[in-house]
Amino acid sequence: METRDYILLTINGQMHKIKGEHAFLPLSSLLRYELGLTGTKVVCAEGDCGACTVLFRRHQFSSERFQSLNSCISTSFLMDMNHIITVEGLASQNHLSEIQDSMIKNFGGQCGFCTPGFVMSLTNLYENHKQATEQKVKNYLTGNLCRCTGYQPIINAALAVDTTKIKPLARQYDYSRAEHDFDSEKQRPIKITLSEKEFFAPTTLEMAAEYKSKNPEARIFSGATDIGVQINKGKNPGNKLMSLHLIPSLYEIRQEGDFTVIGARVSLHALQKYLERKQSQFADFLNIFASPQIKNTATLVGNLANGSPIADTTPFLLTVDAMVDMQGSLGKRSLLLTDFIKGYKSFDLKDDEFITSIRFKLPNPAKIKIGLFKVSQRRDLDISSVNSCFIFQTHNKKIEKAKIAYGGVGPKALRLFDVEKAIEGQELNTALVDKIKQMISTRITPITDLRGSADFRSQQCLDLFDRFVQENFTYE
Ligand SMILES: Cc1cc2nc3c(=O)[nH]c(=O)nc-3n(C[C@H](O)[C@H](O)[C@H](O)COP(=O)(O)OP(=O)(O)OC[C@H]3O[C@@H](n4cnc5c(N)ncnc54)[C@H](O)[C@@H]3O)c2cc1C
Ligand code: FES
Ligand code: FES
């Protein structure tokens, strides 16, 4: 099939064809240095401060509202088939947007580095909600850091916005021509080469597997919230770069029998929305995962495949006996997550394989008690020192089923199968809780690093278990 050597995207309503070296730039550099859109700032270049926030809407989901992302860690080629809006694109017919107006009237415009990012995050808020409480405003600002004056004038500005006057950004520009162009180009794979570097975006799983078998070193970019930070820190992702964004099935969340199947391109934001009514504890837990900008692009599969022993979703996935679905040149296969994770950043994933989805049975909230915890130095936007998930099913004070998993306690996240086996069928009482804690402490081997000492981590693991049983059970 004929490939294209460019990506297509709109920026503030205008179509752009991006080729060659420009496609490999961080989106923030493309905007600032190639297109002169310098309202988008770069401060940390690590996805933390939000100064570089812009809004995006994928062509595949034209019904969806715009969402925020960190342009400093997003590579431009990942923006193919997206509509982007920068701070310059918010005003219409020479009138500032309602949010910009309110920021001025309420003295929310503090410094030139952060203000555009705050405006974009508040625009994200009102794109997706008709009204907001103070807490909601704070949630939407977790990915925007101010180091000077504080947040109150910005929060006041957000709460003073006249929401009746806000119209969805999709109506600000006429996207019909661009949608038509996207439609006619989305079935063409992309191949962009730049001396020995190559970016490839296949349109089918088979095409992706064939590329991976010929280029085993090819690095897959999903949301790039891990890879983008690594690149900005000077780590080379290699010469063969692949994105699966043109494969529609990977955006699906579907039910297959008892299993909920989460495609490799499903963002954590989309997952959180899907789970709100079905598994509210996991959805709530995602509130303390990163920031809206990160969750709008980061994927569940990327969280698992980065291989970090403190990835926040892994303990939950371990306790629900998640399966990892893979595609390779010889076909598909699936593995239990506990078998898939072999060690520190090491998986049972062959050179020609990649992950297509993660599947699990959602625990029935009526039958079980679940405890999902993360310990970090800051509540929001911080990496965990340890995390955990406990799922207990009890009847008449007897533990019928127990599932216990921890992250940050060794080279890989752990499911404590033998502890679970030892306590099933036993009555939950103080003596048993002490015994369980004793068993846990002999199974975990945390290390000392900048996020906490080994002793601190061990103690936290026991405290989290205590918290789980005290919050969910009465026992003597
Ligand atoms: C500011 C900030 C805050 C963060 N906060 C948290 C947090 O609170 N908790 C947490 O756990 N993490 C956090 N992270 C880390 C990161 O956001 C998550 O790990 C995220 O889920 C990664 O998903 P992604 O789609 O962006 O992955 P990417 O960066 O695209 O990829 C990550 C890795 O997975 C591989 N990969 C991606 N897709 C596939 C596939 N289909 N098959 C095989 N391999 C694949 C990539 O090659 C890469 O090695 C944070 C990151 C930042 C920058
Ligand atoms: S510059 Fe700080 S998040 Fe992008
Ligand atoms: S608004 Fe920029 S540091 Fe406070």
List, as one string, the DSSP characters of 194-256.
ETTEEEEE-SSHHHHHHHHHH-TTPEEESS-TTHHHHHHTT----SEEEE-TT-GGGG-EEEE
Q: Does the pTM exceed 0.85?
A: yes
Instruction: Give the separation between CA 237 and CA 80, rounded to whole angstroms.
Output: 19
- CB of 423 within 8 A of CB of 434? no
Whether residue 231 lies inside any domain: the answer is no
Whether residue 435 lies inside any domain: the answer is yes
Same domain, 20 and 155: yes
Residue that is last in its domain, among 361, 386, 413: 361
Residue that is last in its domain, among 303, 327, 361: 361
Nearest ligand, CA of residue 147?
Answer: 3
Residue 437 backbone phi and psi in degrees, to 5: -65, -40
Whether residue 218 lies inside any domain: the answer is no
Instruction: Give the separation between CA 208 and CA 21, rounded to whole angstroms.
Output: 23
Instruction: Give the separation between CA 158 and CA 106, rounded to whole angstroms.
Output: 9
Tell me the CA distances in angstroms from 258 to 184, 363, 380, 392, one per residue in order.
37, 10, 33, 20
Same domain, 255 and 384: no
Edge-to-edge, what's the strand order for the sheet holding 398-407?
369-375, 386-395, 398-407, 414-415
Same domain, 385 and 354: no
Of the candidates 246, 302, 296, the residue with the CA atom closest to the CA atom of residue 270: 296
Same domain, 178 and 255: no
Instruction: Give the separation between CA 432 and CA 427, rounded to whole angstroms.
Output: 7
Residue written as tokens 């936290």? 460
Residue that is last in its domain, among 185, 207, 226: 185
Same domain, 377 and 275: no
- How many other CB atoms are found less than 10 A from the CB of residue 281? 17
pLDDT less than 70: residues of the chain = 61-63
What CATH number should be reported for the domain holding residue 9? 3.10.20.30
Cβ of residue 52 lying under 6 Å from some atom of ligand 2: yes
- CB of 79 within 8 A of CB of 56? yes
Of the candidates 274, 269, 282, the residue with the CA atom closest to the CA atom of residue 255: 274
Task: Among 44, 111, 119, 151, say which to mutate for ligand 3: greatest number of ligand atoms within 8 Å of CB.
Answer: 111
Task: Among 43, 87, 142, 232, say which to mutate for ligand 2: greatest number of ligand atoms within 8 Å of CB.
Answer: 43
Same domain, 349 and 395: no
Q: How far is the CA of 49 from the centre of ligand 3 (A)?
A: 10
Q: Which atom of ligand 1 is nearest to the CA of 300?
A: 21
Task: Among 27, 71, 225, say which to mutate for ligand 1: greatest number of ligand atoms within 8 Å of CB.
Answer: 225
- Give me the residues paired with residue 399 across strands: 394
Same domain, 4 and 127: yes
Q: How far is the CA of 323 from the centre of ligand 1 (A)?
A: 18
Cβ of residue 48 lying under 6 Å from some atom of ligand 2: yes
Tell me the CA distances in angstroms from 162 to 50, 97, 109, 172, 444, one per residue in order.
24, 10, 17, 17, 53
Whether residue 343 lies inside any domain: the answer is yes
Same domain, 373 and 354: no
Q: How far is the CA of 413 from the centre of ligand 3 (A)?
A: 37
How many structural domains is the chain composed of?
3
Whether residue 106 lies inside any domain: the answer is yes
Burial (CB < 10 A; 0-12, 13-18, 19+), residue 143, is buried
- CB of 388 within 8 A of CB of 469? no
Query: What pLDDT does residue 63 have?
Result: 66
Whether residue 413 lies inside any domain: the answer is yes
Same domain, 13 and 156: yes
Residue written as tokens 């806000």? 166
The set of protein residues with a Cβ atom below 6 angstroms from ligand 1 is 47-48, 219-227, 229, 264, 289-290, 294, 298-299, 301-303, 305-306, 311-312, 354-355, 381, 383
Nearest ligand, CA of residue 349?
Answer: 1
Whether residue 459 lies inside any domain: the answer is yes
Whether residue 228 lies inside any domain: the answer is no
Q: How far is the CA of 222 from the centre of ligand 1 (A)?
A: 8
Instruction: Give the separation between CA 320 and CA 362, rounded to whole angstroms.
Output: 7
Same domain, 402 and 458: yes
Tell me the CA distances in angstroms from 53 to 28, 130, 186, 380, one per residue in order.
9, 21, 26, 17
Q: How far is the CA of 273 from the centre of ligand 1 (A)?
A: 19
Residue 420: domain span: 369-472
The mean predicted confidence, pLDDT, of the chain is: 95
What CATH number should be reported for the domain holding residue 454? 3.30.390.50
Q: How far is the CA of 42 from the centre of ligand 2 (A)?
A: 5
What CATH number should be reported for the domain holding residue 293? 3.30.465.10
What single letter denotes the amino acid at residue 255? Q
Nearest ligand, CA of residue 145?
Answer: 3
Q: How far is the CA of 53 from the centre of ligand 2 (A)?
A: 7
What single letter denotes the amino acid at residue 183? D
Instruction: Give the separation between CA 116 and CA 87, rounded to whole angstroms.
Output: 6
Cβ of residue 237 lying under 6 Å from some atom of ligand 2: no
Q: Closest Cα to atom 41, ligand 1: which residue?
A: 355
Q: How far is the CA of 82 from the centre of ligand 1 (A)?
A: 20
Same domain, 256 and 340: yes
DSSP 243-311: E-TT-GGGG-EEEETTEEEEETT-BHHHHHHHHTTT-HHHHHHGGGSS-HHHHTT-BHHHHHHT--TT-
Q: What is the pLDDT of residues 127-168, one digit of tens each?
A: 999 999 999 999 999 999 998 989 999 999 999 999 999 989
Tell me the CA end-to-end span of the chain in Å, nearest whole number: 69
Q: How far is the CA of 151 from the centre of ligand 2 (A)?
A: 18
Same domain, 375 and 353: no
Of the candidates 342, 348, 279, the residue with the CA atom closest to the CA atom of residue 313: 279
Q: Closest Cα to atom 23, ligand 1: which residue?
A: 302
The set of protein residues with a Cβ atom below 6 angstroms from ligand 3 is 110-111, 113-114, 146-149
